[in-house]
Amino acid sequence: MRLVLVLGDQLSSGLSALLKTDKATDIVVMAEVADEASYVPHHPKKIAFTFSAMRKFADKLRKEGWVVAYTKLDDQANTGSIAGELIRRAAEYDASGVVYTEPGEWRLIEALGAMPLKTHSLPDTRFIATHQEFDDWAKGRKQLRMEYFYRDMRRKTGLLMDGDKPEGGKWNYDHDNRKPAPDQVDYPGPMRFAPDEAVQEVLMLVGRRFAENFGDLTPFWFATDTDQARQHLAHWLTGGLPKFGDFQDAMINDNRFLYHAVIGLYINAGLLDPLEVCQKAEQAYYDGHAPLNAVEGFIRQIIGWREYVRGIYFREGPGYTTRNALGHDRKLPAMYWGSETKMNCMDKSVDQTKAEAYAHHIQRLMVTGNFALLAGIAPAEVHGWYLAVYADAYEWVEAPNVIGMSQFADNGIVASKPYISSGNYIHKMSDYCGTCTYRVQDKTGENACPFNLLYWHFLDRHRARFSGNPRMGNMYRVWDRMDDVRKEAVLREANDFLQRMDAGELV
Ligand code: FAD
Ligand code: DLZ
Ligand code: SF4
């Protein structure tokens, strides 16, 4: 008899560990443990989602005939860690060993490998590319450009392929996907599910045990099983997908989700299969329900970016999260944890993160990420924040996005140049600036937008590293053409802003 570990983000019937074991003889182990619930101060909604979905998945397995040894967080015998639970259950059932699907985090991979038990780790087949395929693709390349990897994934899956050519003649329709914020959004947002009894029990537990964590536990509306997640997906495919592409980069004061799918949490936890999701989106295109720019853009995020960042995480190894190529060392300011700020874009992005454990890609990249990079915040602190606050955050996907794409801390493996912008970009893509205390038009002075000041501060302090980057030459030429008095004022005001922020003043 073997134990079969199922982790909180492995809630898939097709999990390799379940497929390779036998419900007649083997025993599934699932455990809510303090270690997993507190390696970062997770958003309460994320913990409630994980525990609810775990409990429902355990019930489903039992109905299918599995014996499931499930540990609840409050159980007396709970050892507090996954390894501890496996060791305890192995003794209880006199198990010959443990079978598991590779976890999505080095921390756990190492902890499981160090257990005094016979272990058998299986590849996680819920992804499209294997580690070997990614490494073969990456080997010998000077730059690991997602776009080329993505094309291979299109060929591999056959998604949006017309023979060996991309559907419509182009691989990438991103050019059509940068429309600014629309006046009205004609999609009501993600489907919301009233908590049933099982979820309510978890909400009580999380409310009691994690009351101090940043984030609102209620209203809790996430799907917590595959049936619900599929209902939500169907709702989005009809209402959201058609305009997903057009407004993918837009941000609006009064709308937290726009046309985004809000499915990262469901795919990452295993409730939805990424390929199935893409095939349904592809069908919407062939049925004439959604345009190619939307469908291609969406499929690229999943079989392109999602697979690519996973490849990077596993290729770069356990030290990736400690990288700090730019030597940034500022503490994460309290505004990330909800303290007041006068910057409306930051306020709105953090506020919705607190309420929903969700912000969309451009808020993460061009608002909170951009600000952290411009202000020189230590990437490890930024990483800890993103890992904690989003319901879809697991290290394999979060770290390459934060350490690599957003903070350039991996020295350009993921991003060929830093994703930085002045207030202009935010102004173009959102209605945030219209209701901000700062003025986006002001480049210096009392009301100057801090993004404007910090943008030049960043370029100036990292001149040696970036002035030779062909994609940044223009920025440096603009800076160099500015007169010295103006330059001096920008840098002085940027430094002053940073000092006031560090001192905890309202900025
Ligand atoms: P949509 O915008 O509707 O996109 C559809 C799906 O595409 C997503 O659900 C996701 O599965 C996939 N996807 C899109 N972009 C990416 C990407 N860059 N990397 C991986 N998958 C992608 N995504 C996470 O799943 N977990 C994270 O912890 C995470 N942290 C991020 C941190 C930063 C700084 C940035 C810039 C991006 C991060 N992303 C992360 C990627 C992306 O922002 C989220 O996947 C997306 O916002 C989730 O919302 P959605 O489901 O509405 O996505
Ligand atoms: C995110 C999370 C949380 C909050 N709690 C648990 C838990 O108690 N038990 C569990 O098995 N998994 C949990 N998870 C998901 C794990 O942290 C995740 O499996 C690892 O980070 C690897 O991706
Ligand atoms: Fe953000 Fe600057 Fe616009 Fe204010 S003015 S919302 S700080 S970009």
pLDDT score recorded for residue 180: 86
The protein residue whose alpha carbon is closest to atom 29 in ligand 1 is 398
Q: What are the tens digits of pLDDT across the range 81-126?
A: 999 999 999 999 999 999 999 999 999 999 999 999 999 999 999 9
Four-residue CA torsion sign, 196, 201, 204, 205: negative
- Residue 267 Cα: closest atom of ligand 1: 11
Tokens describing residue 459: 């370029």
Contact 145, 138 (CB under 8 A): no
- Residue 104 Cα: closest atom of ligand 2: 23
pLDDT score recorded for residue 182: 86
The CATH class of the 131-189+240-316 domain is mainly alpha
Q: Tell me the pLDDT of the chain averaged across its residues.
A: 97
Report the percentage of the chain scoring pLDDT > 70: 100
Mean pLDDT computed over 303-311: 98
Distance 363 CA to ligand 2 centre (A): 25
Ligand 3 contact, 427 CB (< 6 A): yes
Four-residue CA torsion sign, 96, 102, 103, 105: positive
Tokens describing residue 443: 């480049």
pLDDT score recorded for residue 177: 78
Ligand 3 contact, 343 CB (< 6 A): yes
CATH 1.10.260.40 fits 334-502, yes or no: no
The boundaries of every CATH 3.40.50.620 domain in the chain are 3-122
Strand-pair partners of 3:
27, 98
The protein residue whose alpha carbon is closest to atom 23 in ligand 2 is 104
Distance 184 CA to ligand 3 centre (A): 21
Per-residue pLDDT for 208 more than 90?
yes
In order of 184, 306, 432, the CA distances from 91 in angstroms are 60, 38, 58
Number of Cα atoms under 13 Å in the Cβ half of residue 261: 28
Q: What are the tens digits of pLDDT across the range 426-443?
A: 999 999 999 999 999 999
- Of the listed ranges 34-38, 140-144, 313-317, the least confidently predicted one is 140-144
- Residue 432 Cα: closest atom of ligand 3: 6
Per-residue pLDDT for 181 more than 90?
no
pLDDT score recorded for residue 469: 93
The boundaries of every CATH 1.25.40.80 domain in the chain are 131-189+240-316
pLDDT score recorded for residue 138: 96
Q: Which ligand is nearest to the CA of 364?
A: 1
List the strands of the sheet with 27-31, edge to edge: 67-71, 27-31, 2-5, 97-101, 119-122
Tokens describing residue 126: 């819920």
Per-residue pLDDT for 341 more than 90?
yes
- Residue 39 Cα: closest atom of ligand 2: 17
Mean pLDDT computed over 482-499: 97
Q: How many CB atoms lie within 10 A of CB 64?
A: 11
**Residue to substitute in 268, 301, 382, 407 for testing ligand 1 pocket (most ligand atoms within 8 angstroms of CB):** 301
Distance 191 CA to ligand 3 centre (A): 31
Where does 3-122 sit in CATH, by number? 3.40.50.620
